Amino acid sequence: MPIPWNKGKKYPQVTGSKNPKWKGDKVGYSGIHKWVYNHFLKPNKCEHCGRNPGFSKNGTTLLQWANKSGKYLRKLSDWLCLCISCHALKDNYNQGEKHFHKLTEKQVLKIHKFYKTGKHSQRQLAKKFNVTHTTIGRIIRKQIWTHI
Ligand SMILES: [Zn+2]
């Protein structure tokens, strides 16, 4: 095996956050995402809510590929094409699909309804709907499920 030219060497100008091409610690993550974007054809609607979120102002689609298993396999079956709202929701529960499917649109509407009555705290709602307090907060602030 030939020894790689850079073995054991560290070049401060090309590593770390000083490098203009530095992408943070998620290099692997964005790498596979790029691959997915190049290899899979995007459906025209969100595979979770069935909505077509359309395009952003700069013309990019608002559908994003989300990984199902957390293993980032190069297989279409390991990916879901989601709108930004559903993707945010899923990332909040990256533990798995089980949680992801827990909330339905109806439930989210209920959360808003309950919260508006002033009788339920966010924490109580979290318990009631078996989601995290953070999720309830995000729903109420319309950071996720924005189309409801
Ligand atoms: Zn969606």
Strands 79-83 and 63-67: antiparallel
List pLDDT tens digits, range 80-111. 999 988 887 776 555 444 444 467 888 999 99
Which residues sit with Cβ closer than 5 angstroms to ligand 1, an ion?
46, 48-49, 83, 86
Contact 56, 62 (CB under 8 A): yes
| Cα within 13 Å of Cα(85), Cβ side | 24
CA of 37 to the centre of ligand 1 (A): 18
Q: How many CB atoms lie within 10 A of CB 137?
A: 15
Name the residue ranges covered by the structural domains of the chain.
Answer: 1-83, 102-148
**The tokens of 74 are what?**
């190069």
Each residue's pLDDT tens digit, 116-140: 999 999 999 999 998 888 889 989 9
DSSP classification of residue 26: G
Whole-number Å distance, alpha carbon 38 to ligand 1 midpoint, is 21
Q: Measured between alpha carbons, how far is 114 from 109 in angstroms, rounded to an integer? A: 9
Instruction: Give this prediction's pTM.
Output: 0.45
